[in-house]
Structure 1
């Protein structure tokens, strides 16, 4: 590839990167601790964890672990919550895209009375809110073990809000097996994608196309 095309490609990649910003600090737990996060046990913030909250460190690749385990000294009677506050005031003329990985496992019987988890926003009124900005959840309460990636564009009504939180909740059930469940969370991103700038890929194609034509014309002139 000619030098001009290389430069244009680099510029377009920089444009695409700078056009997006992650609004969640330490969303990948890259610090390998709970900085920028709060831990709640039965509503008490940053209480003694006793194994309720851990950082799993795999050779520097870290993720958050939330536990309900009464046989291992867990203090939660009803719920453990991992929470981070959100500043969405910078999301003017943007679309918000939320994504995270989750893994829910354990030894309960997965019935309706078993351990369960759910994910939600908390708005400035203290209400649980879903991706549509209405009362609800991002992931509905479930006792079914499994794993997956949540990825969704949020409703524009969530833009420019202040005093909101993102919560990951693990609650103990009431069955005889409700004593040990784990929720792993990682790769949490809330991306603000501007809607008032040209699409970088299209810009890149136009610029690269112009560069290619210019290079071909220059080569043609030199050979004649």
Structure 2
């Protein structure tokens, strides 16, 4: 019977083999600690940048009004870009005639949000990346990991039924405050005339 640990060589050859296997290890403890430190540092810097507001987020830009549709019927929705060309958004007319507008950039990891008209009375907004769900009426998170509601796109309808995007409000921000913030940056005199607070 042979010893299973016997490699067929001398003890010196066996020790050399063990040393070579150890040297060929993909990640040493020192390498592992270096990787952990680098990733931790990157997360700390990234968190600081996001918290400081360095990165733009939907609802921060000022944009001129944009005509997005000649008409939106009950149960219909229109996708568009606003306030910038990279800011994806949706306008929808709900079953009771209410007109709503939302950013379609998920507040979790910025994946694209889509409308699911077959979920509930008016449908919902859904992020397929991590299964986040938002109430189409309020923009509030109803399921999944998103940390805050969708930013609102402020819509108005003119006398002919055309729908216009006129501003944005940040996640959870009152629409009036969002409109006044954008208007104060574009036209301070008009903001004062309509009663926007400083």
Higher share of residues assigned helix: 2
* TM-score where L is the length of structure 1: 0.22
Structure with max Cα Rg:
2
* TM-score where L is the length of structure 2: 0.24
Higher share of residues assigned strand: 1
